[in-house]
Structure 1
């Protein structure tokens, strides 16, 4: 037998060449992803492999066949629909615009996360200590959030099922329920930043949604279920993890009941009404991997009984409502309350009641499902200076790190920080004003310093900020 015959026999025994073997070995390390719903094989189940390297899950394949069967249409005849043709082997997929995109590769997860144990649950003081590293002041708000999250961890540890949430006593069973939180504070006081910091520090899924885009079902905008859809995405489409997660709804004051309107209030009171079922606990159908509901998008059923909801808002003009209620007493006599008594009270929001919130435009049923109300203080000059200095990721430390990459040391004088804090108070936008001011004055420094490699340090002085002088620059050596 000649050499050619031997080669033919080897080819018959090993039809796959060395490149195919390497490709097959590489594919074993990755999951197949459905071409339509983009779910990996670990979520959607076994895939159906099509010619051209395209994979479809059973759900999407069934929906495609159902659509074709019900409509009686031959989708392969429609322009722009080459992949619905069942005779893919006869098509020339190398034509321009006809290529099938390469399949997305997702690495298979090695092992599941270990089950949560009682020893792993951080105590409230530990959660607050971590928050103290990033958030200045707001002691009561941090304490309330720490306790709420600690109790939420306990519910997660107990499994989240009603029968497992009962603590047997001598004659009764106690069911652990969640306590949703309403955070009220002026703009720039740290409501959203507090929750975002919490998201980085904790292991439970956390989603941050904006109430301004929510509308009543059937109108343009996001449905109420989109809030839960974001949490499901944060939990990697794991329904069990999402049902123990935390949802923060920001700008909750923007869905207050509109006053003196003759049109349908589809983004105000109606949204409050539809949020009731989520806050109380219900089962909702949400799309997986998308915010749009359609026939081709797989749906998941999520129970919100054990999802902790934190709602936050600035509630502008709420202070005027509180002040009006507090000064309703007699304005004559020795016990009279003067009208300007609360004008300069920095903690005026701490006197808030449900009556004030109802006057603002929140419906009683909505407030009843947010039993814990915590107010954040407005920032004064001293707190502004502390925000510039103390947090781990203070904005001054961010600039110091940026210049350290150019081997330049950046220093802020105490008088300069005090001037920046005073200027931020005048702008009235809270801690956000600090970054705006620093961005303005650091622009020239960040532009000029890299020009000269002999510069060793820069000191930001108060005269430079007052535009009566310049920064103090020291050369190397």
Structure 2
């Protein structure tokens, strides 16, 4: 297109509506653009997009078409050139520009990344991955990794053989703070499986006031719903972003959005250059979800611990597809036009697109399959519902809970508001310290349903040092990073870290053994004053060595005449 010298036009784009026209004087240069002639007039008619505005020419006179809500004076700025303008003929046929550098090729515009499916790891690979986050306890890592791989092997069998393979349920025996929970949690995160932690002491026998053991499966299903929801959103996001970009381009350019020149604008849009521009977009009307069940749900109330429909979805979510699925609208979603920045509009439009694409049936079916095939239940403090042999007396949280747990671990069907869940192939990991009782005090039937028994060892001073220094973004790294946000440079010397490890070992030996949790207590005490007065150290370097640790922990009294539990 022809370059124009002199006055340049830059418009703040808020949707193009031809409500205001301003004559503009421009010095013309020769051009080879091919505009069309109107049938009702011999004058040539063409228009151009000038930095987001519409420059319209009828014959030899130029006009600027601005949004009806914008004042002309606030929409025009001076500049040295309008070389970024695009020319179009009256019937929206694009006119070639002399400067092709401004036009971007479709293939060069960055596309949203496609989600990749993780490959199933072998037991040694799973154990090596756990080594990055959990120190020691090699036997427990091996057992958990083998149990996870066993599930993969089962899926390779035919359907009849598959049903006869029982999961390798595990009983972990070890003191508090030795890594029982962390191993299970990290492994579930690595393999991306539905995972729930429950304390056995929170459950009571069926018929007594409190939560029954079946509610743990409902919790697992809720965890599966959230996990699958994230997976589906990640899966559909690339396609939804394409639609959102088209809607934003339509709001930005109006009728011009159908022209090939939108390639350039799409590139600007994805690079974030237009995020602060305002547009008018149609967004779904937010409304409160009505309580009630969904597919497969009983009409009456559920047992304690269940969720209402609205609890599944975030409070800030726009009207989603579940409303229409329950009969509230039959697929019709009310919308309203709002003036938003492109940054805000993109979030709302993306949310609406994802809600429209993810159906209720797909979400529930995939969640049911994930829970039944890959679900992991970690039942902690199992020793607290075990009574020593020979003891008598009613206890609604003891042997009765063990008996209620038997059919769930063995395999049964549990009714939830999402449908019936089979627990036959859910992996159960039970854990306890077993200080006051022994594993043999458990019901014989329950012992038989936990075939893999692993003993975890108390952590040593060397283990504490490795916990502080080796794991990715461990306790020390977290502390340094958090204090660094205030502008201070904090460094821990090796002797300082070893002093913390030594002190933790002493306190666990002579006071109470809390395992690795003791490290958090000591690190917090060491950095307490520093954290409170960190503003005074802005731009300074602070070294935490042995002397620093000793000065901050001198108030800790350790009675070495008494010895705590190891």
Question: What interval of TM-score do these two structures reach, taking the shorter chain for normalisation?
Answer: 0.5 to 0.7
- Counterparts of 1:389 and 1:137 in 2: how far apart (Å)? 14
Is residue 429 of structure 2 the alignment partner of residue 310 of structure 1? yes
Quote how far apart the aligned CAs of 1:178 are. 1.5
Quote how far apart the aligned CAs of 1:404 are. 2.4
The superposition leaves residues 94-151 of structure 1 with CA deviations (integer Å, 9 ceiling, x where unpaired) of xxxxxxxxxxxxxxxxxxx99x8xx932211121111111001111110110010111
- Counterparts of 1:202 and 1:362 in 2: how far apart (Å)? 31
Deviates more, 1:412-421 or 1:430-439: 412-421
- Pairing partner for 1:232 from 221, 233, 238: 221
- Counterparts of 1:460 and 1:390 in 2: how far apart (Å)? 18
- Counterparts of 1:468 and 1:281 in 2: how far apart (Å)? 54
The superposition leaves residues 217-238 of structure 1 with CA deviations (integer Å, 9 ceiling, x where unpaired) of 0112211111111111111052
Task: Evaluate the alpha carbon distance shift between residue 384 and residue 153 of structure 1 in structure 2; reply closer, same or farther with a 3 A threshold.
Answer: same
Residue 222 of structure 1: aligned partner: 211
1:103-118 maps to which residues of 2 (within 5 A)? none
- Counterparts of 2:219 and 2:210 in 1: how far apart (Å)? 15
- Pairing partner for 1:443 from 528, 543, 548: 528
Task: Evaluate the alpha carbon distance shift between residue 165 and residue 365 of structure 1 in structure 2; reply closer, same or farther with a 3 A threshold.
Answer: same
Residue 258 of structure 2: aligned partner: none
Residue 463 of structure 1: aligned partner: 547
User: Given the two structures, how large is their TM-score scaled by the length of structure 2?
Assistant: 0.49
Quote how far apart the aligned CAs of 1:464 are. 1.9
Residue 243 of structure 1: aligned partner: 372
Is residue 420 of structure 2 the alignment partner of residue 301 of structure 1? yes
Q: Across the two proteins, how many residue pairs are aligned to each other?
A: 296
Could you list the runs of 5+ residues in structure 2 that have no partner in the other structure?
A: 1-114, 226-363, 555-566
Structure 1 counterpart SS, 2:403: helix
Is residue 532 of structure 2 the alignment partner of residue 430 of structure 1? no
- Any conservation in 1 of the 2:155–2:162 contact (CA below 8 Å)? no
Could you list the runs of 5+ residues in structure 1 that have no partner in the other structure?
A: 1-112, 167-174, 289-299, 319-355, 471-477
* Larger Rg, first or second structure (1 or 2): 2
- Counterparts of 1:406 and 1:135 in 2: how far apart (Å)? 29
The superposition leaves residues 263-316 of structure 1 with CA deviations (integer Å, 9 ceiling, x where unpaired) of 32211111111111011111122344xxxxxxxxxxx21111111111111111
- Counterparts of 1:317 and 1:418 in 2: how far apart (Å)? 33
- Counterparts of 1:235 and 1:278 in 2: how far apart (Å)? 18
Quote how far apart the aligned CAs of 1:214 are. 0.8
Task: Evaluate the alpha carbon distance shift between residue 248 and residue 156 of structure 1 in structure 2; reply closer, same or farther with a 3 A threshold.
Answer: farther
Which fold has the larger relative contact order, with Cα–Cα distance below 8 Å and residues 6 or more apart in sequence? 2
Task: Evaluate the alpha carbon distance shift between residue 162 and residue 277 of structure 1 in structure 2; reply closer, same or farther with a 3 A threshold.
Answer: farther
- Pairing partner for 2:162 from 155, 161, 165: 165
Structure 2 counterpart SS, 1:458: strand
1:266-415 maps to which residues of 2 (within 5 A)? 266-288=396-418, 300-317=419-436, 356-358=438-440, 361-415=441-495
- Pairing partner for 1:453 from 538, 551, 565: 538
- Any conservation in 2 of the 1:225–1:285 contact (CA below 8 Å)? no
Quote how far apart the aligned CAs of 1:378 are. 0.5
Quote how far apart the aligned CAs of 1:363 are. 1.3
Structure 1 counterpart SS, 2:396: coil
Deviates more, 1:437-446 or 1:262-271: 262-271
Quote how far apart the aligned CAs of 1:468 are. 8.1
Residue 169 of structure 2: aligned partner: 180
Residue 124 of structure 1: aligned partner: 123
- Pairing partner for 1:201 from 185, 190, 196: 190
Could you list the structure 1 runs, at least 4 aligned residues long, displaced by more than 6 angstroms after superposition: none
- Counterparts of 1:262 and 1:305 in 2: how far apart (Å)? 33
- Counterparts of 2:380 and 2:184 in 1: how far apart (Å)? 10
Quote how far apart the aligned CAs of 1:422 are. 1.7
- Counterparts of 1:375 and 1:468 in 2: how far apart (Å)? 36
Quote how far apart the aligned CAs of 1:454 are. 3.3
Task: Evaluate the alpha carbon distance shift between residue 449 and residue 315 of structure 1 in structure 2; reply closer, same or farther with a 3 A threshold.
Answer: same
- Any conservation in 2 of the 1:180–1:372 contact (CA below 8 Å)? yes
- Counterparts of 1:129 and 1:147 in 2: how far apart (Å)? 13
User: Given the two structures, how large is their TM-score scaled by the length of structure 1?
Assistant: 0.58
- Counterparts of 1:448 and 1:250 in 2: how far apart (Å)? 39
- Any conservation in 2 of the 1:185–1:375 contact (CA below 8 Å)? yes
Quote how far apart the aligned CAs of 1:249 are. 0.7
Task: Evaluate the alpha carbon distance shift between residue 409 and residue 153 of structure 1 in structure 2; reply closer, same or farther with a 3 A threshold.
Answer: farther
- Any conservation in 1 of the 2:176–2:514 contact (CA below 8 Å)? yes
Structure 1 counterpart SS, 2:524: helix
Give the CA RMSD over aligned residues: 2.6
- Any conservation in 2 of the 1:155–1:176 contact (CA below 8 Å)? yes
Is residue 283 of structure 2 the alignment partner of residue 153 of structure 1? no
Quote how far apart the aligned CAs of 1:200 are. 2.0
The superposition leaves residues 229-268 of structure 1 with CA deviations (integer Å, 9 ceiling, x where unpaired) of 1111111052222111111111111110266765322111
Task: Evaluate the alpha carbon distance shift between residue 211 and residue 157 of structure 1 in structure 2; reply closer, same or farther with a 3 A threshold.
Answer: farther
